[in-house]
Amino acid sequence: MGDFWKHIIKPKGPWAHWLIFISLLGIVAAGVTGNLAIVAQYLDTEALTFRTGEFHVSPYDALRALVLLVLIFWVTAAIADLVQHRVRGLSKLHPTTRTLVSKILQIAIYIIAILVSMDVLGLNLTTLTVFSGAVGIGIGFGLQNIASNFISGLILLLERSVDIDDLIELPDGVTGFVRKSSARYTLLETLDGKEVLVPNEDFITNRVTNWTLSTSKARVEISVGVAYGSDLELAHNLILEAATEHAMCMSEPAPQCFLRNFGDSSIDFILTFWVEDIVAGRWRPQSDVMFAIWHKFRDNGIEIPFPQRDLHIKNAAALKEAINAQ
């Protein structure tokens, strides 16, 4: 039912213009033939008029108001779509700027349409000021989240902090590319193909990571542990070779390898290197470099240890006697 009224108020598709044309043609034809006057006279009778105090409305008044509102909003929707199409065709403007200008112009057009509708219907704007203020406060409390998302969307468009095709990581770990930005939400397409609708307010109130805001470069970190007794200088050089030889590894800044920690079971290194385009992925180069490190360690006799513990018995003789006694 909601989609029905949405298409009535704002028709879209190839049938929209025909619907408007046929409706206007029907009204004009009824007026020319005199049938419109007969219908108006019948619907405007006292018996069918609803009265309460000084306010009265007949079926003719209601029908006339409905037809005028629908026609006004049809024309408004057509103008708004035309403006949106023209603005999007301005290739010299940044995509976010085109979206912002388009939304502002559409809002202005619909505000003008509402004011024109009230004037056509004979509503007194001065009388409605107090009433509209009270209704506005009530709607404000009920729709504050929608209003917040709308304003947040405008802020995002003005700041350009989130743009189409940006790689975004949310606080809950969801990572994806921005595919669409609307007045209420931003559409993310995750790395596994899911589409996530994120309220615009979340980008303003939460800490969000934009991997491609100013650059698409990203750093990859790999932790490597070698066994005690290994040749540390050789292990260090082999780790750097594995990164340097990879095609996606950037030469500037150069890969770096540091001895990070003397662990319980291993001596720990940390390897860092940069990739040019994180959009192309960082898991693949990380996996490739780890495979290369494994092969180089195996060929050069360097062991990657597993967790182990040495058990020292203070009184081995007593333990041996206890075992023999059993």
- Angle, CA of 215, 219 and 224, to the nearest 5°: 175
Q: Is the pLDDT of residue 268 over 90?
A: yes
pLDDT in tens, 272-326: 999 888 877 778 889 999 999 999 999 999 998 887 777 777 777 776 777 777 6
Contact 170, 132 (CB under 8 A): no
DSSP 289: H
- The CA-atom distances, in angstroms, between 265 and each of 221, 232, 276, 294, 302 are 21, 15, 35, 18, 14
The pLDDT confidence band at residue 154, using thresholds 50, 70 and 90, is: confident
Global model pTM greater than 0.75: no
For residue 302, the model assigns a pLDDT of: 92
d(CA 205, CA 197): 16
Q: d(Cα 151, Cα 107) in Å, to the nearest integer?
A: 13
Q: Quote the tokens at residue 188.
A: 């993310």
For residue 222, the number of C-alpha atoms closer than 13 Å in the C-beta half-sphere is: 25
Residue 60 has pLDDT above 90, yes or no: no
CB 174 within 8 A of CB 210: no
pLDDT at 271: 95
What pLDDT does residue 235 have?
94
Instruction: State the pLDDT at residue 16.
Output: 58
pLDDT at 223 over 90: yes
| Tens of pLDDT, residues 158-206 | 777 888 888 888 988 888 888 887 777 889 998 888 898 998 888 888 8
Of the candidates 84, 94, 231, 204, the residue with the CA atom closest to the CA atom of residue 150: 204
SS3 323: helix
Note the pLDDT tens digit of each residue in 88-109. 777 666 666 667 677 777 777 7
